[in-house]
Chains A and B, each alone.
Chain A
Amino acid sequence: MNMPTPPNAPRLIVIGNGMVGHHLIEQLVELGAHRQYAIIVFGEERHPAYDRVHLSEYFSGRDAQSLALSSTDYYAEHGIELRIHDSVTAIDRDANEVVTESGRHPYDRLVLATGSYPFVPPIPGNDREKCLVYRTLDDLDAIREAAEDATTGVVVGGGLLGLEAANALRGLNLDTAVVEFAPRLMPMQVDAEGGALLREKIEALGVQVLTGRATQHIEAGETSFHRMVFQDDKMLETDLIVFSAGIRPRDQLARDCALEIGERGGVVIDDHCLTSDPAILAVGEVALWQESIFGLVAPGYQMAKVAAATLTEGDATFTGADMSTKLKLLGVDVGAIGDAHGERTPGARTFRYLDEIKQEYRKLVVSSDAKKLLGAMLVGDNATYDTLMQYYANGLELPEDPASLILPSSDGAPTLGPDALPETATICSCHNVTKGDICATLDDGALDLASVKGETKASTGCGGCAALLKSVVDHELEARGVEVDQSLCEHFAHTRQELYSIVRVEGIKTFSELIEKHGTSSGHGLGSSSAPQLGCDICKPAVASILAACFNEPITNAAHVPLQDTNDTFMANMQKNGTYSVVPRIPGGEVTPEKLIVLGEVGKKYGLYTKITGGQRVDLFGAQLHQLPDIWGELIEAGFETGHAYGKATRTVKSCVGSTWCRYGVQDSVGMAIHLEERYKGLRSPHKLKFAVSGCTRECAEAQSKDVGVIATENGWNLYICGNGGMRPRHGELFATDLDDEQLIRTIDRFLMFYIRTADRLQRTSVWRENLEGGLDYLKDVVLDDSLGLGDELEAQMQHIIDTYECEWANTLSDPEKLKRFRTFVNDDGPDPDIIATEERGQLRPA
């Protein structure tokens, strides 16, 4: 991969390693330009490029590493020199050199990606201690430090960034207020009615909103650190002030070397992102194109793509960017499309819909003949955004009654089908993928959504287009005559989800009944006989899992035994030589010395190889089939239960030692881990389930790599979901914050049951989540807001599983008929003569 750059290659320097600067590098690598140029990137911050869009999550559990946009090796792997924490102080255009704190570096081509800085209004007192800005991770560290002995915080600026900053202050548990100079919040995006609704919703979250307030000066407070004095001499006291009142281009380097600068700042660029010096390009928020600065990431990415083409003799041009935005600020949906205020086109007409009960506001701006959508505004619900955006971006003719697009959809509002979209319709705006691009990929042989995503990168940015992308791909595949076969196996023409519904709705409790009623060839079975089909090693365990999740009858019952994989049948893990390993449950990894001694004694007595597992328990290897009942007899006698290490089921809940012992712990993580493990033990699901509970943000239990991860906060628990370790590591996503014990349990109940209902066979939560239409927002709607009205049912189902839990080994040991299976030979008491062990490091292992 790392092809050496030829000696004497032209030198390309990129100043700035923010989101756009990083995207430029990715684009250059994609074009192979890293083999054409010797590339050096200078970044002023301590961190390599990170996701500034999700910055406020830094206070709700994410760290710098998880916000990073690439792996630490990405630059080195492609032979690109990344010099972070190295500020460029000047550009010497006569010598073609940039000057940094570390020295002088010659360039042949130079790209300015220096971004912007936060605008701090010229208010006397704005330089006081604890007057901060919100832009970088270092800014956030400073805010966190200042918040340590603060109880209140004020954000100056009620625009997009201001509300993001307010969210961050809430994340620090400060009583938060927003002060906006304009008469309403987000004046750029919403009108007076939308602003009023937005205000109402944000105030309901406990954030104080002051609009139409101009701060005159800031002075020392009486009850708090600061006092802000407004134009009408009213005052507000607060411990901490964050300015987030807009951005300004960071164009000082360009000014100092006399590049052309716009009247109100910004480095002037042409359609190829070239500045007034053709050796120098500019991209992102520092660049001024046709008198406009673009303060969003998507236009910055487009510029990066154009600049990469310009640097490699390509001919892409930047032709402006749409500033439509879809946001969730403080949990409130806000969307603005095109000319949302209806100010730019004479004769524009509007439709408005306002629901003060549900707190939703939608507005359409249409052409005077009501045929074209010029703009739209949404507050409270962004569900119609994607459809409206397609009408707007593609100039599609509106339906006869445009109002139907924003009225409540009970009467089946017209949805825009994928066939109505033109080839030029942009599906993914992050990566600028059109419907035409997707069709081209399909024409080149891609046969499913995953390969389309891989080829085009569509839906791998913000993910907002996932549902639209899937419908386009499905529609186009269908149009090409590709039938997407969703059958589980040759015995069932159903998906796992469909079988699950059938089992529940019809109350089918056995595999034989299910295959008889719903199998592919119910009626004509094997050969000429009329016997039913048998099923196979795909459908049998899948149905066994469904039955267990619905009815939770012991898997050891005669009707269920033949369905199980060998590990479930014998309730132990088969190893490569046919022996088994035994893993008793040790909830939360907490074990008494007495029980630990029993494990040692059992291991010793049966000659078992003993190893500590990653899930904080003990694995005893090398037991033959006929030894399992004796071993379990002793373990159960000592108070152990089966650990389900063999099942697609709840495995372990890992924990750190928590507040009981640890000087940093803020909650009893072990207690919660044991509680969770006792609650969900025995739960069977499409795949294994791993949990962890950490007692503080240091995260020693590695909860973010689990299906369900819980991290203690001062106020309760943060819940992370759908993480994974193993072959395809995935960070868990923050799902809910500061839950109390009861809320945490209810949320996990619903989440797990929803996963069990809707996942494919052998699909871990991480993959399920990535394929879930609507993504994390949809999952939050279902689980946290109960948008499907399923909450009670999911909880009741989980309660049924919990109420019917029984240790499968105890169940087996009490039934001589079930024990009969645990014989190495049914007609001989001897062991398997082919199993030979040898000694290594003081223990037995397979020879």
Chain B
Amino acid sequence: MNTATALKSEVTWQTLCSKADLVAHSGVAAWLASADTQVALLYLPGLAPEVYAVDNHDPFSNANVIARGIVGDIKDEPVIASPIYKQHFRLSDGVCVEDENVRLRTWEVKIEDEQVMIKT
């Protein structure tokens, strides 16, 4: 991460939870009060980036379940599979692999001082 981004981000980054709340190679849900919404945090230690944040809301089932899906990769792209009807969403941009017209919102996240920070 270059210095310019870091400087700029200081203004908009907020702490969401601690690193210990994350589950390696899997997801948890967090309440993003400032946006009155819920996000799924996916933690992939060893990868870069190692944390992703996408909508917890599954547009196909209308249930808030994305964090409880299985994390994996399809054609070298990290994805999460919805636990309800099994569609895959790319973690990098939230686009649904099976239907590119559907996408989850994504947020930038990072880990600093054992805290998970999200950019809003």
Contact = CB atoms under 8 A, between A and B. Distances in A.
B64 A821 contact: no
B70 interface: yes
Interface string A567-582: 1011000101110000
Nearest to B39: A825
Interface in A557-574: 558, 561-567, 569-570, 574
Given A533-B73, A536-B70, A827-B17, A562 B47 contact: no
B46 A562 contact: no
A537 B68 CA distance: 12
B64 A832 contact: yes
A820 B21 contact: yes
Given A562-B71, A827-B21, A537 B81 contact: yes
B94 interface: no
A826 B75 contact: no
Interface stretch (B2-10, B24-32, B100-108): B24-32
Interface residues of A, number: 40
A109 interface: no
Nearest to B46: A531
Contact of B65 (A490, A527, A541, A574): A574
Given A536-B72, A578-B65, A820-B21, A825 B26 contact: no
A535 B65 CA distance: 20
B47 to A, nearest CB: 5
A625 B46 CA distance: 28
A549 to B, nearest CB: 19
Interface string A522-561: 0001110101111111001100000000000000001001
Interface in B18-73: 21-26, 28-31, 33, 38, 41, 44, 46-48, 57, 61-65, 68-73
A578 B30 CA distance: 15
Contacts of A540: 70, 72
A574 B83 contact: yes
Contacts of A834: 57, 63-64
A828 B65 CA distance: 16
A565 B33 CA distance: 29
Counting contact residues on chain B (CB < 8 A from A), the size range is 35 or more
Interface string A804-847: 00000000000000001101111110101010000000000000
Interface majority SS on A: helix, strand, loop or mixed?
Answer: loop
A566 B83 contact: yes
Contacts of B78: 526, 534
Contact of B70 (A532, A562, A825): A562
Contacts of A569: 26, 68
A533 B46 CA distance: 11
Contacts of A527: 76
Contacts of A567: 83
A804 B28 CA distance: 30
A525 B65 CA distance: 28
Name, among A578, A820, A830, the residue most crowded by chain B CB atoms within 10 Å (CB to CB).
A578
B25 A534 contact: yes
Contacts of A824: 29
A701 to B, nearest CB: 33
B16 interface: yes
Contacts of A566: 65, 68-70, 83
Question: Among the interface residues B17, B33, B57, B88, which one has the most CB atoms of the partner chain A within 10 A?
Answer: B17
A526 B47 contact: yes
B74 to A, nearest CB: 6
A577 B63 contact: yes
B84 A576 contact: yes
Contacts of B17: 826-827
A624 to B, nearest CB: 10
A625 B63 CA distance: 13
A525 B74 CA distance: 12
B76 A562 contact: no
Contacts of B31: 825, 827-828, 830
Nearest to A527: B76
Contacts of B62: 577
Given A562-B23, A565-B83, A827-B17, A574 B64 contact: no
Given A566-B65, A569-B68, A578-B63, A826 B30 contact: yes
A570 B62 CA distance: 20
Contacts of A563: 70
Contacts of B88: 537
A534 B69 contact: no
A534 B64 contact: no
A826 B63 contact: no
A536 B81 contact: yes
Given A526-B78, A566-B69, A577-B63, A534 B44 contact: yes
Nearest to B23: A821
A612 B78 CA distance: 41
A529 B44 CA distance: 13
Contact of B23 (A490, A541, A561, A830): A561
Nearest to B76: A526
Interface string A9-52: 00000000000000000000000000000000000000000000
B70 A565 contact: yes
B79 to A, nearest CB: 8
Interface in A646-661: none
B69 A825 contact: no
A540 B17 CA distance: 27
A834 B72 CA distance: 27
Contacts of B63: 576-578, 834
B83 A561 contact: no
B83 A531 contact: no
Interface string A232-260: 00000000000000000000000000000
Given A490-B74, A540-B70, A566-B65, A823 B86 contact: no
A561 B69 CA distance: 12
Given A561-B23, A827-B16, A536 B29 contact: no
A566 B84 CA distance: 9
Contacts of A537: 69-70, 72, 81, 86, 88
24 contacts: A527-B76, A529-B48, A534-B71, A534-B78, A536-B70, A536-B72, A537-B81, A540-B72, A558-B24, A562-B24, A562-B70, A563-B70, A570-B68, A574-B65, A574-B68, A574-B84, A576-B84, A578-B65, A821-B28, A823-B28, A826-B29, A826-B41, A827-B31, A834-B57
Given A529-B47, A625-B68, A826-B30, 13 more contacts: A526-B78, A534-B25, A534-B73, A536-B72, A536-B81, A537-B72, A562-B26, A562-B70, A564-B70, A565-B83, A574-B68, A827-B31, A834-B64
Interface of A: 490, 525-527, 529, 531-537, 540-541, 558, 561-567, 569-570, 574, 576-578, 625, 820-821, 823-828, 830, 832, 834
**What 5 A-B pairs are tightest by C-beta distance, nearest first?**
A536-B72, A578-B63, A562-B25, A566-B83, A537-B81
